[in-house]
Amino acid sequence: MARRERFPVAVVGPGALGSFFAQRLSKVVPTAVVARGATKIPQADWVIILVKAYDTAAAYRVGKRVVPVATGRTLLPPGFEALARMLRRAGFNTKITKEIRAARLRKLLANVCLNPVTAAFGVRNGALAEPPYARFAEALAREAAPVLAAEGLKIAPAEALRRVMAVAKATAENRSSMLQDLAAGRKTEIEEISGALLRLARRHRLAVPTHAAFRQIIRIMEAR
C-alpha cells in the first residue's frame, strides 16, 4: 500500500476565503485543499477550516484537529506558535494571545450589530454610521453590552457603541456576509450570530428585544 503524503497544512473549504488562504500558504509550504463536504482530510500537521458556521459541525465530525481563522488579524492561543510562524511567512498578520475568548466576544459584538441590520435593509456597513440605520445599531450595541459583560468582557454600552461605529466606518464599503447570503438565496448565519447572543442573554436572564426582533426578521426573509 502506498504511503499517504502528509502535508504541513490542509485548508478545508476552498471558497473565496479558503482559496485566499490556500494560495498564500502554498507559496511557503505544501498545502492540501479540501472541498467542503469531503468525508476525508489528508494527513496534515494543521487543519484550517474556513467554511460557514452552519457547516463546521460536519467538518468537526471528521475528527481532525482544527483551527478557526479569519482575515484581518489572526489570533491563536499559546501552543499554536508553529502555525503562527507558518501564517506569518505566508503574509498573514498573526498574533499569539491568551485573550481568545475576549476577542471572540468583541467579534460577536460587531457581528450581531452589523450583519442583521445590513441584511434586513440591504445596505452596506457604512450606512449604519448614519441615520436612520444608526439608531438600530445603537439599540443592538446597548443591548449586547450587558450580555457580553456578564460573559466576562469588560465593556460598557457606550464603549460597545463606539466599537460598532468604528467597525462600520472602517468597513464602510463592505457588504456583510449575511446581506450577501440573502441576496444569493443562501442560508444565513443568523442562528450562529444573533441566536448565539440570545442564548447568552437567556443564560444571564437579560432582555435583548431588538436582537430577538432582527433574528425573526432575517428568518422570515430567509424563508421567502
| Cα–Cα separations (whole angstroms), residue 138 to 94, 100, 109, 151, 211 | 31, 25, 12, 20, 11
Measured CA to CA, the distance from residue 27 to residue 48 in angstroms comes to: 16
Three-class secondary structure of residue 31 per DSSP = strand
Catalytic residue among 107, 154, 169, 187: 107
Residue 16: left (phi > 0), alpha (psi -120 to 50), or beta? alpha
For residue 68, give the C-alpha cell. Answer: 478557526
- Longest Cα–Cα distance in the chain: 66
169 among known catalytic residues: no
Burial annotation 40-67 (CB, 10 A radius, 16+ → b, else e) = ebbebebbbbbbbeeebeebeeeebebb
Catalytic residue numbers read 107
